[in-house]
């Protein structure tokens, strides 16, 4: 227990009448357990300590002569909302205890003091404190991670994006992000949320392409028990969970027309009903939508509602592909090296000029995500403390000329290696669609599937 509190920097403030000997044994016992003790005997002393020191727990005489317990509690919570306050009183009544707990007291006990009981209560209060400390630290790290200054990109294309994001983040408007897969849309959505007035509220992410139509509606809006086969309990939807915060709807171009209608209602009316329910639920949610598809083309094809498009597209941000921001490749390489050094305890100090030139020459169809994977792979294979060209994934050497279906193949590759890499790149170019890839390769779909299985 002592070690845990020392790690948490736990300080206990004891507030009692000066010279009250009933507290001496408890204070000595707390000190023997390693707690840092602060003492006060008046309201002024209490407030001064709270302003100057970090206090985790307060143990307070409810019947102080210069201030009532509840008044002290309210003032304490205004100065330090997360301090856990335990009251002791000469005579505890149910109404007195209930009122104190309602105002935020952690617990209420009667004299004489049972030191071991108080220690047990303090341990539980510290547990609650540790959760708060962890939550606060996590929130700090998230805010730091998604600070605009931490977004990697000195190229003109990315600086333009960062300027727009910094401008619109504090404003309560919906945003549409577009860009190729892997270009960083989710990272930008995080940055917008955590730099907005909604940062302390939930940030809920939904990959719309990952669910079928019926399942997606349940994910977004929730469902009532018995709404459909398998709905054995009520489910709260993502919009309800995001109330007061932000919802990130990734791959918005993949949702069905019927779901689009329901989504439009949420945007316009700020309300919806769960699937199978009649209760109207009101929500206040900011929407950040993202897609790699051309929504205007989908509108022309009657696959996406024009009115929904304009509701989502209050501010439009198009993320550049990595091949459009090649000036950022050295920065990204350095960032990923540092990241994986920390995460995986590697000792990589840099990258050779030859390896960097290969990174610069490659077209990166998978964008930043593909580059991150390539760096991680090279670091795992590196036998020295520097990334050399030979440690990079072999596909980086098979860079196709832009706007060409032909590939430059190193002379020392075997036929098997060449075939494998060409199939991989064609599949990548066709977005994983085996039918289209087979047609481009000039083979049947079953032949392609057999080759993939063999590989």
- pLDDT beyond 70 at 413: no
Query: What is the mean pLDDT of the segment spanning 406-427?
Result: 66
Q: What is the architecture, at CATH level 2, of domain 146-320?
A: 3-Layer(aba) Sandwich (3.40)
Sign of dihedral through CA atoms 137, 142, 148, 151?
positive
Task: Give dist(CA 106, CA 152) in Å, integer.
Answer: 45
CATH number for 323-454 (one of 1.10.10.10, 3.50.50.60, 3.30.530.20, 1.10.8.60): it is 1.10.8.60
Q: Can you give the pLDDT at residue 3?
A: 40
Ranges of CATH 3.40.50.300 domains, the chain: 146-320
Ranges of CATH 1.10.8.60 domains, the chain: 323-454
Phi, psi of 404 (to 5 degrees): -130, 150
Beta bridge partners of 129: none
> What's the 3-state SS for 70-97?
HHHHHHHHHHCCCCEEEEEECCCCHHHH
Q: Between residues 111 and 380, which one has the greater pLDDT?
A: 380
pLDDT tier, 7 (very low <50, low <70, confident <90, very high otherwise): very low
Cβ neighbours for 61, distance < 8 A, ≥ 6 positions apart: 15, 16, 17, 20, 23, 69, 87, 88, 89
Query: What is the mean pLDDT of the segment spanning 89-118?
Result: 78
Highest-confidence range of 77-81, 149-153, 238-242, by mean pLDDT?
A: 238-242
Q: Can you give the pLDDT at residue 426?
A: 80
Cβ neighbours for 160, distance < 8 A, ≥ 6 positions apart: none
pTM for this entry: 0.59
Nearest to 91 by CA among 109, 105, 104: 109
pLDDT tier, 149 (very low <50, low <70, confident <90, very high otherwise): low
pLDDT tier, 424 (very low <50, low <70, confident <90, very high otherwise): confident
> What's the 3-state SS for 97-133?
HHHHHHCCCCEEEECCCCHHHHHHHHHHHHHHHHHHH
- Mean pLDDT for all residues in the chain: 84
The CATH class for the domain spanning 2-138 reads alpha beta
Query: What's the distance, CA 253 to chain centroid?
Result: 23
Note the pLDDT tens digit of each residue in 298-328: 999 999 999 999 999 999 999 999 989 988 9
Query: What's the distance, CA 11 to chain centroid?
Result: 31
408 token code pair: 């430059």
Q: Return the minimum-mean-pLDDT range out of 1-5, 441-445, 446-450.
A: 1-5
Contact yes or no for 38/13 (Cβ under 8 A): yes
Ranges of CATH 3.40.50.2300 domains, the chain: 2-138
């Amino acid at each position: 227990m002592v070690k845990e509190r020392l790690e948490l920097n736990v300080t206990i403030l004891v507030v009692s009448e000066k010279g009250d000997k009933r507290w001496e044994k408890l204070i000595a016992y707390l000190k023997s357990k390693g707690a840092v003790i602060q003492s006060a005997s008046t309201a002024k002393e209490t407030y001064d300590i709270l302003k100057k020191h970090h206090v985790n727990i307060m143990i307070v005489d409810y019947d102080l002569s210069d201030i009532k317990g509840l008044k002290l509690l309210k003032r304490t919570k205004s100065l330090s909302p997360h301090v856990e306050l335990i009251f002791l009183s000469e005579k505890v009544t149910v109404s007195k205890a209930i009122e104190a707990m309602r105002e935020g007291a952690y617990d209420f006990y009667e004299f004489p003091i049972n030191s071991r009981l108080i220690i047990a209560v303090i341990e539980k209060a510290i547990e609650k404190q540790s959760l708060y400390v962890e939550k606060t630290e996590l929130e700090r790290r998230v805010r730091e991670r998604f600070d605009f200054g931490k977004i990697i990109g000195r190229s003109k294309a990315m600086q333009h994006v960062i300027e727009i994001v910094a401008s619109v983040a504090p404003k309560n408007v919906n945003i549409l992000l577009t860009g190729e897969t892997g270009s960083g849309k989710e990272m930008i959505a995080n940055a917008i949320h955590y730099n907005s007035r909604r940062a302390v509220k939930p940030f809920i992410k939904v990959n719309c392409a990952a669910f079928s139509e019926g399942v997606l509606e349940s994910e977004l809006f929730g469902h009532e028990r018995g709404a459909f086969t398998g709905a054995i309990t009520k489910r709260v939807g993502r919009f309800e969970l995001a109330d007061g915060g932000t919802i990130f709807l990734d791959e918005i171009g993949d949702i069905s027309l019927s779901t689009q209608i329901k989504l439009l209602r949420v945007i316009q009316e700020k309300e919806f009903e769960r699937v199978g329910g009649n209760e109207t639920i009101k929500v206040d949610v900011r929407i950040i939508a993202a897609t790699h598809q051309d929504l205007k083309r989908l509108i022309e094809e009657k696959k996406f509602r024009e009115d929904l498009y304009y509701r989502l597209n209050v501010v439009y941000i198009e993320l550049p592909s990595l091949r459009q921001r090649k000036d950022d490749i050295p920065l990204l390489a350095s960032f990923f090296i540092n990241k994986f050094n920390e995460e995986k305890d590697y000792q990589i100090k840099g990258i050779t000029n030859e390896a960097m030139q290969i990174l610069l020459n490659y077209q990166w169809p998978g964008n930043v995500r593909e580059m991150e994977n390539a760096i991680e792979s090279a670091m795992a294979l590196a036998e020295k403390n520097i990334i050399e060209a030979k440690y990079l994934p072999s596909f980086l050497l098979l860079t196709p000329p832009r706007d060409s279906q032909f590939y430059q193949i190193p002379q020392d590759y075997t036929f098997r290696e060449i075939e494998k890499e060409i199939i991989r790149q064609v599949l990548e170019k066709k977005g994983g669609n085996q039918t289209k890839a087979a047609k481009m390769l000039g083979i049947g779909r079953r032949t392609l599937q057999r080759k993939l299985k063999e590989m």
